[in-house]
Structure 1
Amino acid sequence: MLFSLVVYVLFSVVMCQNDNKTILTRKLPDGMKLGVASAAYQVEGAWNVADKLPSIWDTLSHTPGGIKDGSTGDDACKSYEYYKRDIQMIKFLGVDFYRFSISWPRILPSGFRNKISDDGLKYYNNLIDELLANNIEPIVTIYHWDLPQYLQDLGGWANPMIADWYVDYAQVLFETFGDRVKTWITINEPKQIGLFGYGMSYLAPRLNAHGIGEYLAAKHILLAHAKAWHLYDKQFRPHQKGTIGITIATDFRTGMTDSPEDILAGSEAMDFEVGLYAHPIFSKTGDFPESVKRRVAERSKEQGFKKSRLPTFTKEEIVFIKGTSDFYGFNHYSTRFYTRNGFKSGMYPIPSYEDDLAAIYSYKDYKPAAIVHCTEIPEGMRLALKWVKDNYDNPPVNIIENGFGTLGGQQDYDRVKYLTRYMDAILDAVEIDGVNVTMYTVWSLMDNFEWANGLSIKFGIFETDYGNSNKTRRPRMSAFWFRNLVATRILDPYRETEFQKLEF
């Protein structure tokens, strides 16, 4: 462990009120695993080491104006070089698991399996072996947004062939690492991939093909996921004995008021934002949600399209996709409130996902966070978990991401407060609503390259010193808070916690 003790102090975080709800000392459920997370492009750096070729994020970050603060992921946290330090940080926390992703172009430089990188395989073999040597379970995300640029040049997630390209890549991972990796996540956040990257110009590859690109990507992502699940289920599960599922951004969407019109707007927003990706897999009927199919078909007809811009699944595809997840991978940060009062045609591009939904949203009167999509609304966490239970027959829920973004600082009281209140809401969902939560993951282990925002946004419970060539990491107050939670398995808003200035 590369750290030095500088000073030793005590702090006490007292959380008397959760708005109108008193937070009590509570025990975590037996069997709930606790962990931390990262993603390959956000931490690894080494963007052109060995035979790795560019991903869509290498391309975007090297495009002038592509990233808000002008930074790139070329170095990021240098985890490709310093992964053993990362593992010592994880060991310091005492968590059960580390969720990380594998870089597609680091394994298959062009995206195709005709050329498999020995250097890429060696890096991830070393990472997995080092985790296991330290009694940390590796949980692997197969795809966390860093598509090989060569595949994007061929259409990326808008090309139906990508399901076959993806399953070839997944098979290499199952064959190479499946003897040690027992929990797989096929794809992280299909909405963010399709809507923000293909329908909008927020994330790579920034196609801005609004109203069409996001829906094409949704269909092809679901088919790719299902093909990988079936491959694992038939060829690898019998002897590797693992589990495999998808992770879906499940921020809660609800009505601005209790009026029937706003309730409907909130319900349909949930269908568009979450159900579009969850319903085909987890519902008893399969297929896209009826409200999404109806609204996109109606708007497409009004706009002069011959048929709906939302692609259809064949009956065989509906059956093929349905049931293809061993758990519900659940990412959650905040809640938005929707209404159609005040919506006007032309507010959003036509066609577009936003125009199809035809609603506007806000965070109501909640205090906005420095990073707005982390606005603290803990009751939305409980409601989102209950929504999954009620709509999808109470599947096992792996909370894969929950975290709070700031602009920096080691004394991150706001992050500790956010995490405390959200864990309290999770315990309500488990104890009162009967939600089957099996895992909780803090996003993220350390500050990293936060996509279009670059290095300016800080999600880490460890601070990363980007000005230091070694990318020194220092635990924030929240790291000690989480370490204590892991050790005691008790959520205690009145506890006193030791805080040390350490370096890794």
Structure 2
Amino acid sequence: MAFSSTLNHEELTFPEGFCWGAATAAYQVEGGWDADGKGPNVWDTFTHQGGDRVFRNQTADVACGSYARWEEDLKCIKQLGLTHYRFSLSWSRLLPDGTTGFINQKGNCFLKIEGIDYYNKMIDDLLANGVTPMVTLYHFDLPQHLEDQGGWKTGAIVEVFDAYAQFCFGTFGDRVKLWITINEPNVLAFCAYEKGLFPPGIPNPGTGAYQTAHNMIKAHAKAWHSYDSLFRKKQNGQVSLAFFSPWIAPANPASVTDQEAAKRAMALALDLFAKPIFIDGDYPAVLKSQVAAMSKKQGYLSSRLPEFTEEEKRMIKGSADFFAVQYYTTRLAKHHENSEKELNCLKDIDVEIFPDPSWQVSQQDSWIHVVPWGLRKLLKYIKDTYNNPVIYITENGFPQGDPAPLDDTQRWEYFRQTIQELYKAIHLDEVSLQGYYVWSLLDNFEWTEGYSSRFGLYCVDFDNPDLPRTPYKSAVEYAKVIQNNGIKGSL
């Protein structure tokens, strides 16, 4: 149903059944890094090595202590009135070396059943309280044993990930109906394997992102087909993966070169992963031509962007049941001829990307500019580019510094404006948006930012051994939105 753009509703009510959620990730909240036989993951290794790669050499060995304090997290979820809660499974908590080889033959079950029990309790408690779980299989915390064997750089990871996914589908899929296979594969590819900012901390400029992207796409598709053929008929769930994407607009909307630059930037930021999975099993043509041309200039015999086989294209095409996207900010783009001397995936597209200096910026994370309207533009782009899929926003948030005021008025204004833009996307642009998850339920370990960047609806006092959770103003206001299935305010 379309509405006039002059609407001025006092009550912006969302469609019946709209999903209001919050999200966390295992490594960022659980702690208990070696509890009950959990194996080390790459972030355990990375943070324990020190070297100032993480803010003040902080680790998530304890984090929010959620592994021992699930009941406290559940209390927060109930206070908010969430309809949905997204969390991830710790791969190495379930399978210490990342493989299904650790089997207790005597008991015919996995040795480290404590991890299974922990997630079973989470899922059962959520359902008992009317909250739908959305479960992420992999959120950056690859088991260290698998990284030692090449990690996402090797094609062998595809079968290993599929075996892990099948284990999770078989163990929890009788109750979990919304699955995310891989969280932000584009961020992982660029931050971990291209730049070396994330573990394993070894940069592979010009090749790392493409190589690992290639394997993650195949791993996701393989797991989706396993669910489709082995579990869907009985479990009746849905499987996708979650993309991080900014909205990238032309710096000068009237400039054709800037328009084309913005298209190339979106091709690298989002379409590199989304187009193969949602459209035709292959990378965007503009990206293929750009990388091939730059590779040739650099003396490569073939493009640094790998090719999918025809069989792989058939496997990848259509391997998602909904579109999950994670939005934080917007950028502008203009054409910029980059030097072929520098090996860098971001340089392959001949684009300069930058923010508008007039946009309000987060004082904590300078990369986040406050551009709520960019999310509406992104949603419309997804609708038009990917055949109007069902969309879930699986992360959206705004950070505070440490210490963070409980009266986070500025942040609530960010959320309020964002929710208004979601309403416009649904009612004016007719986007098939079905859910919105705030990042994050709790202040947590924010990767290389450590505990300095606070995204939580609930403040966590990390200096108190009891790790108490206290609601920010934004939590109180978000609870009202959920209760009313909408927000007061005009368009």
TM-score grouping bracket, smaller chain normalisation? over 0.9
- Aligned runs of 1:73-222 on 2, under 5 Å? 73-115=60-102, 116=110, 117-222=112-217
Gaps of 5+ in 2: 1-5, 103-109
Gaps of 5+ in 1: 1-19, 495-504
The TM-score with structure 2 as length reference comes to 0.94
Query: Which among 346, 358, 369 is matched to residue 354 of structure 1?
Result: 346
Instruction: State the 1:286 CA deviation.
Output: 2.8
Q: For this pair of structures, how many residues does the alignment match?
A: 471
Q: Is the 8 A contact 2:281 2:315 kept in 1?
A: no
Moved more, 78-87 or 419-428: 419-428
Instruction: State the 1:489 CA deviation.
Output: 1.4
The TM-score with structure 1 as length reference comes to 0.91
Q: Is the 8 A contact 1:69 1:456 kept in 2?
A: no
2-structure distance, mates of 1:333, 1:378: 8
Q: Is the 8 A contact 2:324 2:393 kept in 1?
A: yes
Partner of 1:261: 257
Partner of 1:277: 273
Instruction: State the 1:22 CA deviation.
Output: 8.0
2-structure distance, mates of 1:31, 1:423: 16
Asked if 1:467 is matched to 2:459, the reply is no
Query: Secondary structure in 1 aligned to 2:16?
Result: coil
Partner of 2:107: none
1-structure distance, mates of 2:319, 2:272: 15
Q: Is the 8 A contact 2:21 2:86 kept in 1?
A: yes
Hey, which bits of structure 1, 4+ residues long, moved more than 3 A? 20-25
Query: Secondary structure in 1 aligned to 2:54?
Result: coil
Asked if 1:58 is matched to 2:51, the reply is no
2-structure distance, mates of 1:162, 1:387: 32
2-structure distance, mates of 1:260, 1:195: 28
Give CA-to-partner distance per residue, 1:69-101, whole Å, 9 cap, x none.
321000000000001110111011111111000
Instruction: State the 1:403 CA deviation.
Output: 0.7
Instruction: State the 1:482 CA deviation.
Output: 0.5
Query: Secondary structure in 1 aligned to 2:146?
Result: helix
| 2:349 aligned partner, one-letter code | L
1-structure distance, mates of 2:281, 2:125: 40
Q: Is the 8 A contact 1:84 1:130 kept in 2?
A: no
2-structure distance, mates of 1:419, 1:372: 18
Asked if 1:414 is matched to 2:407, the reply is no
Asked if 1:309 is matched to 2:304, the reply is yes
Instruction: State the 1:453 CA deviation.
Output: 0.6
Query: Secondary structure in 1 aligned to 2:57?
Result: coil
Query: Which among 18, 21, 28 is matched to residue 35 of structure 1?
Result: 21
Instruction: State the 1:51 CA deviation.
Output: 1.2
Asked if 1:444 is matched to 2:431, the reply is no
Query: Which among 216, 226, 234 is matched to residue 229 of structure 2?
Result: 234
Asked if 1:326 is matched to 2:321, the reply is yes
| 1:352 aligned partner, one-letter code | N
1-structure distance, mates of 2:75, 2:307: 48
2-structure distance, mates of 1:303, 1:190: 27
Q: Is the 8 A contact 1:250 1:274 kept in 2?
A: yes
Asked if 1:366 is matched to 2:353, the reply is no
Q: Is the 8 A contact 2:281 2:312 kept in 1?
A: no
Q: Is the 8 A contact 1:333 1:373 kept in 2?
A: no
2-structure distance, mates of 1:231, 1:273: 27
Query: Secondary structure in 2 aligned to 1:69?
Result: helix
2-structure distance, mates of 1:282, 1:207: 31
Asked if 1:391 is matched to 2:368, the reply is no
Give CA-to-partner distance per residue, 1:458-496, whole Å, 9 cap, x none.
0001000001101101000000010000001121149xx
1-structure distance, mates of 2:99, 2:486: 47
> In percent, how many aligned pairs have the same letter?
38
Asked if 1:47 is matched to 2:42, the reply is no
| 2:97 aligned partner, one-letter code | S
2-structure distance, mates of 1:344, 1:290: 19
Query: Which among 410, 420, 426 is matched to residue 424 of structure 1?
Result: 420
1-structure distance, mates of 2:354, 2:189: 22
Q: Is the 8 A contact 2:54 2:450 kept in 1?
A: yes
Instruction: State the 1:264 CA deviation.
Output: 0.7
Q: CA RMSD in A?
A: 1.6
1-structure distance, mates of 2:452, 2:373: 28
2-structure distance, mates of 1:474, 1:21: 37
2-structure distance, mates of 1:276, 1:402: 21
Q: Is the 8 A contact 2:338 2:348 kept in 1?
A: no
2-structure distance, mates of 1:21, 1:54: 54
Instruction: State the 1:378 CA deviation.
Output: 1.3
Instruction: State the 1:344 CA deviation.
Output: 4.6
